[in-house]
Amino acid sequence: MSSPNTPLDLSLDGGALTALLVDLPSVSGDEQALADAVEAALRELPHLTVDRFGNNVVARTDLGRAERVLLAGHLDTVPIADNLPSRVEGDLLYGCGTSDMKSGVAVQLRLAATLAEPNHDLTFVFYDCEEIEASRNGLGRLAAERPDWLAADFAVLMEPSGAVVEGGCQGTLRADVVLTGTRAHSARSWLGDNAVHKAVEVLRRLSDYAPRRVVIDGLEYREGLNATRIDGGVAGNVIPDECRVHVNFRYAPDRSEEEAAAHVHEVFAGFEVTVTDTAPGALPGLDRPAAQAFLAAVGGEPRAKFGWTDVARFSALGIPAVNYGPGDPNLAHKRDEHCSLTAIAEVEARLRAWLTGA
């Protein structure tokens, strides 16, 4: 794997540059080496102004263009799962972060290095801690602490979208459903009240849950309500007095955060429900002029974004934003995560055409 001091050679093609980024591990919370390398490479480029805040790096042109376009990507990955260093098989580059989303970061860096005279002013944002709790998200921290750095007329978030424009994003809400009972020795179980057995009704409602599909601006969103974790019990001979079911609700952007929370409370009516984490979705907004111009330039049929992404943060800042990146969203967070080298080149070429065309 690359040493933390390996300089990033931005003259490499997008695939080779992705491999270099992947081989410089940057699990959430541990992005400093990669942020240093990105900052150093960008500071070599005379047409860009570079700023840094924590492990977030922002680079800008200042050409006085009528409009400013922002290209954003996160530097972190989920934990490595025996899938480093990267390796190439035919057209596919395998490894942790190939899809989500160092291929997108590589395209950002390639465009930053080569577009000295774009037709819009450009802002490139590289940020940390996207894969963990929302409170640590680098883009969120920039929006709170350095909002002027994010000023733009339109934003492209380069999360994996299969080289197709994905509109908006779904919201996400986490909650704990807590069952309580009474401890007793398991040899005299009738003196206790088993909290784990009570989870049967919670799991039945989850099993029976019929997730909604909803079409917004022509894009179909698919919701989901799932247990992501369950735990209960203290010892092999004790009737458990607590069981906790952690659920994750992914909801279409026509629900607000409040409506999503109310829905989860309604599904688990009669149970103790505590919302632990929540982030709103973003409506696709594909009817707006900036989005229409982008769609016309890069082509293809747009679709809905299922995963929560930071387009919701741009949406909250009043900046129209879409997801468009070379990674495959279905491979994110999997052991066999990989990305098509052709898709990396294609996304770079289409963005280049848009940002240099008339």
d(CA 119, CA 353): 10
Q: Is 135 in the site for a copy of itself (CB under 8 A)?
A: no
Give, as ranges, the residues between 89 and 128 that touch a copy of itself (CB under 8 A).
none
Catalytic status, residue 76:
yes
- Smallest distance, a copy of itself to C-beta of residue 234, A: 8
Give, as ranges, the residues between 40 and 79 that touch a copy of itself (CB under 8 A).
78-79
Kindly state the helix (H) or strand (E) to which residue 174 belongs, with its residue range.
strand 171-180
d(CA 246, CA 243): 10
Selection from 226, 132, 213 nearest residue 174 by Cα: 226
- Smallest distance, a copy of itself to C-beta of residue 307, A: 4
**Which CB atom, from 6 or from 182, has the smaller least distance to a copy of itself?**
182
Selection from 134, 90, 89, 193 nearest residue 313 by Cα: 134
**Which CB atom, from 54 or from 233, has the smaller least distance to a copy of itself?**
233
**Which CB atom, from 277 or from 287, has the smaller least distance to a copy of itself?**
277
82, 248, 310 from 334: Cα distances, Å: 11, 18, 21
Binding residue count for a copy of itself, defined by CB under 8 A: 60
- Residue 163: half-sphere exposure toward Cβ, Cα within 13 Å: 15
**Which CB atom, from 204 or from 288, has the smaller least distance to a copy of itself?**
204
339, 326 Cβ separation under 8 angstroms: yes
Binding characters for a copy of itself, 272-311, by CB under 8 A (x = yes): -----x----------------------------xxx---
Give, as ranges, the residues between 212 and 271 that touch a copy of itself (CB under 8 A).
222, 224, 226-240, 243, 245-246, 248, 250
**Which CB atom, from 71 or from 202, has the smaller least distance to a copy of itself?**
202
- Smallest distance, a copy of itself to C-beta of residue 136, A: 12
Q: Is 83 in the site for a copy of itself (CB under 8 A)?
A: no
Kindly tell me the sign of the dihedral angle through the C-alpha atoms of 201, 203, 208, 211: positive
**Which CB atom, from 63 or from 78, has the smaller least distance to a copy of itself?**
78
Residue 9: phi, psi to the nearest 5?
Answer: -90, 100
Residue 91: phi, psi to the nearest 5?
Answer: -90, 0
13, 71, 95, 143, 322 from 346: Cα distances, Å: 12, 16, 20, 30, 17
Q: Is 29 in the site for a copy of itself (CB under 8 A)?
A: no
Using the structure block, give the residue that is written with the tokens 């390996």.
6
- Smallest distance, a copy of itself to C-beta of residue 319, A: 22
Q: Is 324 in the site for a copy of itself (CB under 8 A)?
A: no
Catalytic option among 23, 39, 76, 100: 76
Catalytic status, residue 217:
no
d(CA 37, CA 124): 15
Give, as ranges, the residues between 158 and 217 that touch a copy of itself (CB under 8 A).
170, 172, 174, 183-191, 194, 196-200, 203-204, 206-207, 211
d(CA 197, CA 343): 49
Selection from 42, 25, 43 nearest residue 34 by Cα: 25
Catalytic option among 130, 131, 159, 241: 130
- Smallest distance, a copy of itself to C-beta of residue 81, A: 8
Which positions are catalytic? 76, 130
Q: Residue numbers of the site for a copy of itself (CB under 8 A)?
A: 78-79, 131-133, 170, 172, 174, 183-191, 194, 196-200, 203-204, 206-207, 211, 222, 224, 226-240, 243, 245-246, 248, 250, 277, 306-308, 329-330, 332-335
